[in-house]
């Protein structure tokens, strides 16, 4: 009876030690899940900013190419010349009538 009692106590002691070791274990993070200051804080522009600038430049270039080669530039220039002529005629007329 004494032998079975001591065997039971030793088994309980081993179980208690094992659960204490499991509970006291600190869980370590993998390298991929840690925030790295070199990856995000490199001092340069982020890829989103670079992509935005590149995309904006491409859209601007495409829009200007369409404006230049579609004939819209000629229309805008002729409207500008017409407005200049109209303004000069109005200025001459106002000088003629108010003198």
Is residue 96 domain-resident? yes
Provide the number of structural domains found in the chain: 1
Is residue 31 domain-resident? no
Is residue 80 domain-resident? yes
Is residue 34 domain-resident? no
Q: What is the pLDDT of residue 93?
A: 85
Is residue 86 domain-resident? yes
Domain coverage including residue 98: 70-99
Total-model pTM: 0.42
Is residue 75 domain-resident? yes
**Separation CA 18–CA 11 (nearest Å):** 11
**Separation CA 93–CA 86 (nearest Å):** 10
Is residue 88 domain-resident? yes
pLDDT tens readout for residues 49-72? 999 999 999 999 999 999 999 989
Please list, in sequence order, all residues whose beta carbon lies within 8 angstroms of the beta carbon of residue 66, skipping any fewer than 6 positions away. Answer: 72
pLDDT tens readout for residues 15-61? 766 555 556 666 666 666 555 555 555 567 799 999 999 999 999 99
Is residue 81 domain-resident? yes
**Separation CA 35–CA 29 (nearest Å):** 10
């Amino acid at each position: 009876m004494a032998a079975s009692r001591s065997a039971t106590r030793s088994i309980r002691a081993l179980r208690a030690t094992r659960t204490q070791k499991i509970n006291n274990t600190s869980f370590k993070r993998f390298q991929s899940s840690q925030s790295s200051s070199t990856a995000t804080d490199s001092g340069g522009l982020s890829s989103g900013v670079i992509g935005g600038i590149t995309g904006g430049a491409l859209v601007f270039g495409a829009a200007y190419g369409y404006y230049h080669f579609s004939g819209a530039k000629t229309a805008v220039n002729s409207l500008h010349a017409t407005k200049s002529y109209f303004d000069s005629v109005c200025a001459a007329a106002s000088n003629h009538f108010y003198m």
